Structure 1
């Protein structure tokens, strides 16, 4: 890193040097991503990384941003506004959760299905997502948010292929043996996940927003 003093202002110039330890991605190449493309930078040495370390967005890339999306109250057998009312009964008939599936995991699956529908309505898919913001609330009686449950839900829809072989990587649902993910998807968006005190809807434990890019060939 070099520091220059210009007209009383300090300008910081950062120089990246490519090497064996440099994360795979656009900045270990001499030019940024081409116009209309999005290129993730992935951690080096991992065959199935969960998230990108960053994303390069080429010039003139049309993008789509969702609002914060929470789960839909599909479980009408549970009390309205309860955490259980947001269990996805399409995936879990009757709202019954298999062994080891947490309420956060179930709500995460609900949210990610809704995001898929939102993207499809805009002419996009999970594969087009390049960044994600996740907000988690503690389940009733818990002292912390259930990040492990959320990550299992996430892997059902994102980052579930081996970068070396291109084959899908089995994902566990709760404590069940790992199986084929719900949606096979090599996309690894950049992501943050935060524990917060309250989400805007009573009973929500998960809220997610994503950014997606329209592929250059559309």
Structure 2
């Protein structure tokens, strides 16, 4: 795989006004290390529904599971082998209005990840880190990051942090509706655009790390 772009998130520093009226840098609050069995996401400040964590701290006694990269499953036998449409698992291979090929394949791939996790006694709520690889759809100059992000929100980061309630998310161009899986988990995540993927027709491949939390 040839990496072409990397999306990186950065945090901004805060400033306080000193008692004498002069601007001064806020003293950095040093976070404590995670407790031995703790899994603690570092979430962006001031956001009730961030899509990803700035990072995730994991205690020394927390066991983790690293899933191999998975792409969408062959789900549409009516489409030609090796075509992107082959990996659309909506009924009859028909995508809902506005759903892109990358979005459809991403939903398919994330379902496969869920099954992989389930075989280990884990769920999407246990995911602490995610890496996604996107390839350009046919005829497109760049990868479909927007389609990927819509699919991601169907399974991750779809609850309001202030209320705990689910947040409606879009599918294609349809009005936002209930997500396919309600999940408050916000993993640390990176998305890479690459030249190609190992299976003809794939537009997305996803790998995750999940934590065996204390139940």
TM-score when normalising by structure 1: 0.85
1:1-218 to 2 correspondence within 5 Å?
A: 28=29, 30-88=31-89, 92-217=90-215
* 4+ long deviations beyond 4 Å: 17-20, 27-30
Identify if the C-alpha distance between structure 1 residues 38 and 18 changes in structure 2 by more than 3 Å, giving closer, same or farther: farther
Q: Is the 8 A contact 1:155 1:181 kept in 2?
A: yes
RMSD: 1.7
SS at match of 1:199: coil
Structure 1: runs of 5+ lacking an equivalent: 1-16, 21-26
SS at match of 1:156: helix
Tell me the matched-pair count: 192
Of stretches 198-207 and 27-36 in structure 1, the one that deviates more from structure 2 is 27-36
State how far apart, in whole Å, the 2-side matches of 1:59 and 1:19 are: 33
Q: Is the 8 A contact 1:18 1:28 kept in 2?
A: no
Identify if the C-alpha distance between structure 1 residues 28 and 113 changes in structure 2 by more than 3 Å, giving closer, same or farther: farther
Q: Alpha-carbon deviations, 1:196-218, whole Å to 9, x = none?
A: 0010110000000000000123x
Q: 1:28: how far off?
A: 5.0
Q: Alpha-carbon deviations, 1:46-80, whole Å to 9, x = none?
A: 00000000110111110000011011011001011
State how far apart, in whole Å, the 1-side matches of 2:31 and 2:97 are: 50
Q: 1:34: how far off?
A: 1.0
Q: 1:18: how far off?
A: 9.4
Q: Is the 8 A contact 1:170 1:178 kept in 2?
A: yes
State how far apart, in whole Å, the 1-side matches of 2:160 and 2:129 are: 20
State how far apart, in whole Å, the 1-side matches of 2:31 and 2:101 are: 46
Q: Alpha-carbon deviations, 1:89-118, whole Å to 9, x = none?
A: xxx100101110000000000000000000
Structure 2: runs of 5+ lacking an equivalent: 1-12, 17-27
TM-score when normalising by structure 2: 0.86
Q: 1:33: how far off?
A: 1.2
Identify if the C-alpha distance between structure 1 residues 110 and 163 changes in structure 2 by more than 3 Å, giving closer, same or farther: same
Identify if the C-alpha distance between structure 1 residues 108 and 177 changes in structure 2 by more than 3 Å, giving closer, same or farther: same
Q: 1:19: how far off?
A: 8.6
Q: Alpha-carbon deviations, 1:139-175, whole Å to 9, x = none?
A: 0000000000000000000000000011111001000
State how far apart, in whole Å, the 2-side matches of 1:48 and 1:42 are: 10
Q: 1:31: how far off?
A: 2.2
